[in-house]
Structure 1
Amino acid sequence: MKTPAKPRARRRIITLIATGAVVLVLVAFGVYGLATGPARPPEGASPVPTAAGPTVASSPSISPSPPMPGVPPVHASRDPETFAGNVAHALFTWDTTTGLMPLDYTAALLDVGDPTGTEQAGLAADIATYLPTRQAWIDLRQYATTQSLTIDSIEVPASWGEALAQAHPGQLPEGATAYTIHGTRHRQGVWNGQTTTAERDVSFTVFIACPTGKPCSLLRLSQLDNPME
């Protein structure tokens, strides 16, 4: 049996009226919101500022921390004596207050090491004997300890000629030479609020290679205070 047309028409009208009422309610609330602005915050709550544009969540204002300084690179040179002096200063110049560690200073010296990589492991072991251990570094940092070097003399040791004569063909890289350095190690720190300094004579030999037309590279280091003479 067919549903009478009039009841169907009434239901359609009721549905349209209900839908229209919902739309009117939403529009009314929208207009009311635009007219009155945002709702007031609860009693005691901090008011939230409004902006003309879209609201963007802002992160707390944090001043960027300054970048930690790096270890200055060892200055390259094609002059053997100049390069040996640059290595000496890089080896003895450090600052425990910068946040850097001994391995950072080691890396700077390895950057000018043997480009073939043959001597890198031995060179890293040599450098470690010149720098404080990690724990000693942490202890020295409590006293804001810094170190530098004054070079008193730098010269090719007399016995280097004999070493070259005894070397087998291909045993030494092209342009290999050695420089023995005598100098004064300076340390400065703070003890009980007072600046204190200490000086110590040091001597060592730097073994380098300076191929024709190319920058010098660092091969090895002698034991501290046991240089080639």
Structure 2
Amino acid sequence: MRYSPAHDNTLRRRRILVAAAAAVALLIAASAYAMLSRDNPSSSTSSSSELDVFAPPETAPDVAPTSGVLPELDPTADPESFARLVAHAIFDWDTVVAVPLSDYTNRLVTVADPTGESSPGLVADVAGYLPTATAWSQLRTYATRQWLAIDTAKVPSLWSQAEVEAGPDGFLPGTTAFTITGVRHRAGVWEGDPVASEHDVAFTVFIVCAPSYPDCHLLRLSRLDEPLG
């Protein structure tokens, strides 16, 4: 049986439409997966080609506040414990719970240096870790939550050099730094199926504790993945 040129053109147009629809579907899926693992664009160093999408682990912690209100960070005089609390306060969040994004920043500012001198810089530091308001809204459509699994929390070897260079009047007594390494996890839902991603992260938390203050306070954060060595 012979086909007319018009019939061939119809088949060709159908094939083009099918291919285009498949390409659009692939782009939408890739965008969803990328959103689940994207940091704030101003601070992210990962690319979509590095994503590893899989079912979320069964041992994922519950990072959502039970009352819809973020709990305050427990006061502590132990520097390492405080650094770990700060690390989780930065990375552990859940977009499904009705907690404003700004609350995550405010919770950290409340434990900043009481003098307020470092607070403006700290707010800018935290903004480099949290999603933007636009990204937060998009992540919410995928029921995204994030948490940090800490591997190490150590005073960086360069901290002693920083203290020497600062001189006797450079830092308040009890000022120190902890470099945190770990894995940032994200999990969400895409078309009814669970998806997740994970990335290694490293950063430094600068804090001040006793004898300057009875409890530890947060000074600044390094840029993500640019820790003090």
**Aligned pairs for 1:80-229 within 5 A:** 80-212=79-211, 214-229=214-229
- Alignment partners' CA distance in 1, 2:68 and 2:110: 17
Structure 1 or 2, whichever has the larger Rg, is: 1
Q: CA offsets per residue over residues 15-35 of structure 1, 9 Å max, x none?
A: xxxxxxxxxxxxxxxxxxxxx
Shift of 1:68: 5.8
- TM-score of the aligned structures, taking structure 2 as reference length: 0.69
Rounded Cα–Cα distance in structure 2 between residues aligned with 1:68 and 1:184: 27
With the length of structure 1 as denominator, give the TM-score of the two structures.
0.69
Aligned mates of 2:140, 2:222 — CA distance in 1: 27
After superposition, the CA RMSD in angstroms is 1.3
The total of aligned residue pairs comes to 163
Query: Any idea what the Cα deviations from partners look like across 1:79-136, whole Å, max 9, x if unmatched?
Result: 0011000100111000101122221100001111111100000000000000000000
The structure 1 segments of at least 4 consecutive aligned residues displaced by more than 2 Å after TM superposition are: 168-171
Q: CA deviation at 1:71?
A: 1.3
- The gaps in structure 1 that reach 5 residues or longer are 1-66
For residues 130 and 141 of structure 2, what CA distance do their matches in structure 1 show? 17
Q: Percent identity?
A: 49
How many angstroms does 1:166 deviate by?
0.5
Separation in 1, partners of 2:159, 2:101: 31
User: Gapped runs of 5+ residues in structure 2?
Assistant: 1-65
- Partner of 1:154, secondary structure, is strand
Corresponding position of 2:69: 70
CA distance in 2, matches of 1:156, 1:200: 22
Say which structure, 1 or 2, has more relative contact order (CA 8 Å, 6+ apart): 2
CA contact (8 A) 1:87 1:109 kept: yes
Letter in 1 for 2:140: R
